[in-house]
Amino acid sequence: MPEFRQNPITKEWVIIATERARRPHEFIAKEKPKAIPSYVATCPFCPGNEHMTPPESFRDGDGSGWQVRVTPNKFSALALEGTRWRHCEGLKRSAAGVGVHEVIVETPDHSLTTALMPVEQVERILRCYKQRYYAVTEDPRIELITVFKNHGASAGTSLEHPHSQLIATPIISPQVRSRMEEALRYFDEAGECIFCRLMVEELGDQKRIVAENGHFVAFVPYASLSPFTILIFPRRHMASFGQINDDEVTALAAIQREVLARLYYGLQNPDFNYNIRTAPSECRYVRYYHWYLSVIPRLTKVAGFELGTGFFVNVSLPEENAEFLRGVTLPESFQASA
């Protein structure tokens, strides 16, 4: 029989549609990942085309080269210059669309994706996220910083060259507010962080664990809203991504690359989004919230029922997803560079 499961963090309910569940192998793409060239002359993110982007805000690289590069987004959703304002008129509420919208070019190599990069490169990207997180936090207009990646057309990307983005907003969304409130409610009742508790329970169950190392745990959540969603939690309690230390950056690079490689080799390069969910700046030291990295493969479509109710239907079993991912054989080339 199908069952509802509830996400303890968001209180969202998902229907685990056991009757029409698809087995993990049914999510494998029909075709092998296509070969992508290492360099594309017209790509604004390929080396030599730096003039095609707005002036750099950060560069990791030695001499004339670069390994990771950050620029303002040419098609920014927000204006970098300008002050905060809020306007009310009847029921209408508007606010200044100011903030930061940057592109992180992850590597000079057009053909790579996280799963295929050397682990040192993934570490460079994460160090860059941290550098930008700090720099942007200094902006007094900013309340919330989100780092995310769109990989593939279904995930909303239009550019093939590996890149991620940072958007910093002068407003906290009600979705984030609601998570913070739920986490605080739990903390007030139980005296502990709900995310820390959830990690303990997942490690106890083991069934949904995908990978773990000394600093991080990756698992398919019990109430996963969609197939193969994976959360990567830091073991140490930290509300904000900015608190990550050097050892943790190294460990996060290893587990993030492994998790994305398990998806890449297991499901043949599925489209995915990942994002770092961190506390708003003003709550960066709270005991009740915990940052994490969420990876959402885009294997199914959101339809009218989800849009109209906020319920989700997951046509796969989280426990089977995790077992499948644990069993994926990674190529020797992957292991060698880890």
The residues carrying an active-site annotation are: 163
- Say how many residues touch a copy of itself, by CB under 8 A: 75
146: closest CA among 175, 185, 113, 124? 175
Q: Which helix (H) or strand (E) holds 56?
A: none
Shortest Å, Cβ 191 to a copy of itself = 15
Contact call for residue 157 and a copy of itself (CB under 8 A): yes
264's tokens: 């890449």
Out of 77, 214, 285, 335, which residue is the one contacting a copy of itself (CB under 8 A)? 77
Q: From the list 51, 62, 65, 91, which residue makes contact with a copy of itself (rule: CB under 8 A)?
A: 91
Distances (CA, A) of 136 to 118, 139, 173: 28, 5, 18
User: Residue 252 interacts with a copy of itself (CB under 8 A)?
Assistant: no
Give the list of residues 6+ apart from residue 284 with CB closer than 8 angstroms, or none. 239, 240, 242, 243
Q: Which two tokens stand for residue 109?
A: 């190599």
What part of residues 172-191 is at the interface with a copy of itself (CB under 8 A)?
173-176, 178
Q: How near is the Cβ of 33 to a copy of itself at its closest, in Å?
A: 20
| Cα torsion 136, 147, 276, 180: sign | positive
Specify the amino acid at residue 228.
F
User: Looking at 150, 269, 316, 321, which residue binds a copy of itself (CB under 8 A)?
Assistant: 150
Give me 153's structure tokens: 């057309």
294 interacts with a copy of itself by CB under 8 A: yes
For tokens 């990069």, the residue is 117
- Give the residue from 207, 203, 195 showing the smallest Cα distance to 294: 195
Scanning 13-21, 64-72, 127-135, 234-242 for contacts with a copy of itself by CB under 8 A, the matching segment is 13-21
CB of 231 to a copy of itself, least distance (A): 12
Options 49, 131, 137, 154; binder of a copy of itself; rule CB under 8 A: 154
Cβ atoms within 10 Å, residue 104: 22
β-strands 312-314, 13-16: how paired?
parallel
Residue from the set 36, 40, 43, 96 that interacts with a copy of itself by CB under 8 A: 96
Classify the phi-psi angles of 271: left when phi > 0, otherwise alpha if psi is within -120 to 50, otherwise beta: beta
Contact between 83 and a copy of itself per CB under 8 A: no
Q: Of 265-284, which residues contact a copy of itself (CB under 8 A)?
A: 273-277
Answer yes or no whether residue 93 interacts with a copy of itself by CB under 8 A.
yes
> Rule CB under 8 A: is residue 302 a binding residue for a copy of itself?
yes
- Residue number, 122 or 334, with CB nearest to a copy of itself: 122
The site string for a copy of itself over 209-228 (x = CB under 8 A, - otherwise) reads -------------xx-----
